[in-house]
Structure 1
Amino acid sequence: MSFKRISVGLLGIVLSMVLLAYLFRLPLTSWYLTPMLSKNGVALHCIDWSLTSKLDLNIEKLCLTYQGQQIELAGIIANKQQVTVSRANLTLSNQVSKQSDSSQTEFKKLALVLPEQRPLISIQQLDVVSPFTDNPVRLAIREKRLNHFTISRDISADVEISNYEVKANLTLDEKVLERFMKLPKNSHFTTQSQVNFDGITVAIKSMVNVNYQHALEQCDLSFATEGSLSAKYQLNQQHLNADLSALRNQFSAHQDCFISIANQQYQSFIRAQLPLAWQLQIAEPLSVDGELLSVPIVKLQANEGQSEIKVSNTSLSLQNPLTSLKSQVGIHFNSEDISEFKLDAHLNDGTVKSGFQLSLNSLPAFLDLQADGIQAKGKLNIDELFASPIVAQLNANVSVKNALISDATIADFTSTIDAEHNAQQHLIVKANSKVKSLNYNDINAAKISNELTLRTDLSAGELFADIDAKTSAAKLTTPELTLNKLSVVTNALQSRALQATHHVFADGFEVLISHHMSEVAHPFELVIPEQTIAKLNPIIYQFEPLATVTDGVVSGIIKGDVNLQQAQGSLHIDKFSALYNDYLANDFAVDLNGKFNSGQLNIATTKFTLNELRAGAVVKNIQGQLQVTANQPCAANLTGQVMGGEFVVNSYCPLSDNQTATVKFENIDASKLVTLDAESGISLSGRLAGTLPVVISKQGVEVKQGQLVNQGDGKLLITNNAGFEAVKAQQQELSTTLSLLENLDIKKLRSSVNLKPDGWLHLGVNLEGYNEAQQQAVNFNYNHEENVFTLLRALRLSDEITQRVEKEYAKKGSNDG
Structure 2
Amino acid sequence: MSFKRACVGLLGVMLSVVLLAYLFRLPLTSWYLTPMLGKNGVELHCIDWSLTRKLDLSIDKLCLTYQGQQIELAGIIANKQQVTISRANLTVSNLADKQASNSTQTEFKKLALTLPEQRPLISIQQLDVVSPFTDNPIRLAIHEKRLNHFTVSRDLNADVVIANYEVKASIALDDKIAERFIELPKDSHFTSESQLRFDGITVAIESVINANYQHAFEQCELSFTTQGQASAKYQLNQQHLYADLSALQNQLSANRDCLNTTANQQHQSFIEAQFPLNWQLQIEQPVTVEGERLSVPIVKLLTTEGQSEITVSNTTLSLLDPLASLNSQVGIDFISRDIDEFKLNAHLNEKNVTADFQLSLGSHPAFLDFKADGIQVSGKLSVNELLSKPTVGKLTADVSAKNALLADLKITEFTSHIDTQLSDEQHLSAKVSSQAKSINYNEIQVLKIKNELSVNSDLSVGELFADIDAKTTAAKLITPKVTLNKLSIVTNALQSRALQATHHVFADGLEALVSHHMSKVAHPFELVIPEQAIAKFNPIISQFEPLVTITDGVVSGIIKGDVNLQQAKGDIRIAKLAALYNDYLANDFNVDIEGAFNSGQLNIVPTKFTLNELRAGAVVKKVQGRLNLDNNKPCVSKVTGHVLGGAFVVNQFCPLLDSQTVTAKFENIDASKLVTLDAESGISLSGRLAGTLPITINKQGIAVKQGQLVNQGEGKLLITNNAGFEAVKAQQQELSTTLSLLENLAIKQLKSSVDLKPDGWLHLGVNLQGYNEQQQQAVNFNYNHEENVFTLLRALRLSDEITQRVEKEYAKKGSDNG
In the superposition, the TM-score normalised over structure 2's length comes to 0.96
Q: Determine helix, strand or coil for the equivalent of 2:505.
A: strand
Q: Extract structure 1 runs of 4+ deviating beyond 6 A.
A: none
User: 1:313-359 deviations in whole A, cap 9, x for unaligned?
Assistant: 00000011101100000011111111111100001011000000001
CA distance in 1, matches of 2:767, 2:262: 98
One-letter amino acid of the structure 1 residue matched with residue 767 of structure 2: N
Whole-angstrom CA distance in 2 between matches of 1:695 and 1:687: 26
CA distance in 2, matches of 1:226, 1:417: 47
Q: Which residue of 2 aligns with 1:683?
A: 684
Which residue of the partner structure matches residue 566 of structure 2? Answer: 565
1:719 match: 720
Q: Name the counterpart of 1:650.
A: 651
Residue in structure 1 matched with residue 127 of structure 2 by the alignment: 126
Matches within 5 A, 1:576-725: 576-725=577-726
* Paired position in structure 1 for 2:157: 156
User: Partner residue of 1:35?
Assistant: 35
Alignment of 1:749-764 (within 5 A): 749-764=750-765
Q: Map Cα deviations across residues 460-508 of structure 1 (whole Å, 9 max, x no partner).
A: 4443333322222211222222222222222333344333322222212
What secondary structure is seen at the aligned counterpart in 1 of 2:114?
coil
- 1:240-286 CA-to-partner distances (Å, cap 9, x unmatched) read 11111111111111123233432222221111111111111110011
Q: Residue deviations 1:640-696, cap 9 Å, x none? A: 222222222233232334444333333333222123243332233333333333333
**Aligned twin of 1:258:** 259
Change (3 A) 1:658 1:329: closer
Q: Please give the alpha-carbon distance, in whole angstroms, between the structure 2 residues aligned to 1:637 and 1:751.
A: 25
Find the aligned partners of 2:436 and 2:225 in 1 and give their Cα distance. 51
Aligned to 1:87: 87
C-alpha separation in 2, matches of 1:662 and 1:58: 142
Contact 1:582/1:801, CA 8 A, preserved across alignment: no
Aligned to 1:810: 811
Distance 1:216 1:779, change over 3 A: closer
- The alpha-carbon distance between structure 1 residues 49 and 600, as it changes in their structure 2 partners (threshold 3 A), is closer
Matched to 2:731, the amino acid is: Q
Q: Is the counterpart of residue 22 in structure 1 residue 22 in structure 2?
A: yes
User: Aligned residue for 2:386?
Assistant: 385
Judge which range, 485-494 or 210-219, deviates more: 485-494
Q: Which stretch shifts more, 461-470 or 84-93?
A: 461-470
| Offset, 1:565 | 2.5
Residue 62 of structure 1 and its aligned partner are, at CA, apart by: 1.3
Which amino acid in 2 is paired with 1:545?
A: P
Q: Distance in 2 between matches of 1:401 and 1:779?
A: 85
Unaligned residue ranges in structure 1 (runs of 5+): none
Following superposition, the deviation at residue 796 of structure 1 comes to 6.4
Q: Which residue of 2 aligns with 1:44?
A: 44
Deviations 1:158-213 (A, max 9, x none): 11111211111111111211111111222211111111111111111111111222
Counterpart position of 2:352: 351
Aligned to 1:323: 324
Give the match for residue 221 of structure 1.
222
Q: Is the 8 A contact 1:792 1:798 kept in 2?
A: no
Once the two structures are superposed, residues 132-162 of structure 1 have per-residue CA deviations (whole angstroms, 9 ceiling, x without a partner) of 1111111122222222212122111111111
Deviations 1:517-573 (Å, cap 9, x if unpaired)?
334433322221111111111111111011111111111112222333322211100
1:536 aligns with: 537
Once residues 593 and 185 of structure 2 are traced to their aligned partners in structure 1, the CA distance between those partners, rounded to angstroms, is 84
2:311 is the counterpart of 1:310: yes
Question: Structure 2: which amino acid aligns with 1:322?
Answer: L
Task: Indicate how the Cα distance of structure 1 residues 667 and 215 shifts in structure 2: closer, same or farther if over 3 A, else same.
Answer: closer
User: How many residues in Structure 1 have an aligned counterpart in Structure 2?
Assistant: 817
Aligned to 2:735: 734
State the SS of the aligned residue for 1:795.
helix
Q: 1:56: which partner in 2?
A: 56
CA distance in 2, matches of 1:528, 1:40: 102
**Structure 2 gap ranges (5+):** none
Q: How far apart, in 2, do the equivalents of 1:797 and 1:443 lie? A: 41
TM-score, scaled to structure 1:
0.96
Matches within 5 A, 1:176-195: 176-195=177-196
Any idea what SS the aligned residue of 1:665 has? strand
Residues 680 and 260 (structure 1), Cα distance of their counterparts in 2 relative to 1, 3 Å cut = closer
| Separation of aligned partners in 2, 1:796 and 1:368 | 61
Shift of 1:608: 0.9
Confirm whether residue 2 of structure 1 aligns to residue 37 of structure 2: no
Q: Using the alignment, how far apart are the partners of 2:655 and 2:506 within structure 1?
A: 30
1:579–1:805 CA contact under 8 A, matched in 2: no
- Give me the whole-angstrom Cα distance separating, in 2, the residues matched to 1:287 and 1:638: 100
Tell whether the 8 Å contact from 1:465 to 1:493 is kept in structure 2 after alignment.
yes
Distance 2:42 2:267 in 1: 69
User: Aligned equivalents of 1:695 and 1:284: distance in 2?
Assistant: 98
Read off the aligned partner of 1:331 and give its amino acid letter.
Answer: I
**SS across alignment from 1:93:** coil
The answer to whether the Cα contact below 8 Å between 1:763 and 1:783 also exists between their aligned partners in 2 is: yes
Structure 1: how far apart are the matches of 2:221 and 2:781?
Answer: 117
Aligned equivalents of 1:611 and 1:720: distance in 2? 38
Aligned partner of 2:30: which letter?
S
Match of 2:98 in 1: 98
CA gap 1:658/1:349 in 2 versus in 1, 3 angstroms: closer
Task: Measure how far apart 1:103 and its partner are.
Answer: 4.1
Q: Does 1:499 align with 2:500?
A: yes
Match of 2:73 in 1: 73
Alpha-carbon distance between aligned partners in 2 of 1:543 and 1:357, rounded to the nearest angstrom = 49
The residue number in structure 2 matching 1:239 is 240
User: Structure 1 residues 308, 797: CA separation in 2 closer, same or farther (over 3 Å shift)?
Assistant: closer
> What does 1:333-412 align with in structure 2 at a 5 Å threshold?
333-412=334-413
Q: Is the 8 A contact 1:68 1:105 kept in 2?
A: no
Residue 517 of structure 2 is aligned to residue 511 of structure 1: no
| Residues 128/697 of structure 1: CA separation in 2 closer, same or farther (3 Å cut) | closer
Please state whether the residue corresponding to 1:377 is helix, strand or coil: strand
Post-superposition Cα deviations, 1:208-235, rounded to whole Å, max 9, x if no partner, equal: 1112222221122211111111111111
Does the 8 A contact of 2:502 with 2:515 survive in 1? yes
Aligned match of 1:423: 424
Task: Give the CA deviation at 1:305.
Answer: 3.7
Aligned-residue offset at 1:730: 1.5
Give 1:410 shift.
1.5
Partner of 2:275: 274
Q: 1:78 to 1:662 in 2, by over 3 A?
A: closer
CA contact (8 A) 2:676 2:683 kept: no
Distance 2:170 2:73 in 1: 25
Shift of 1:771: 4.1
After superposition, the C-alpha distances for 1:687-737 in whole angstroms (9 at most, x for unaligned) are 333333333344433333333334444433333222222112112222233
**Distance in 2, Cα, partners of 1:468 & 1:399:** 23
User: 2:111 corresponds to which residue?
Assistant: 110
Contact 2:797–2:803 under 8 Å retained in 1? no
Deviations 1:729-758 (A, max 9, x none): 112222233233333444443333332332
Q: Secondary structure at the match of 2:325?
A: coil
What secondary structure sits across from 1:80 in the alignment? coil
Q: Is the contact made by 1:650 and 1:663 (CA closer than 8 Å) also made in structure 2?
A: yes
Task: Select between 288-297 and 175-184 the one with higher mean Cα deviation.
Answer: 175-184
Q: Secondary structure at the match of 2:323?
A: coil
Q: CA RMSD in A?
A: 2.0
8 Å Cα contact 1:221/1:253 also seen in 2: yes
Q: CA deviation at 1:70?
A: 1.1
Assess, with a 3 A threshold, how the Cα gap between structure 1 residues 558 and 67 changes in structure 2: closer, same or farther: same
Q: Which residue of 1 aligns with 2:148?
A: 147
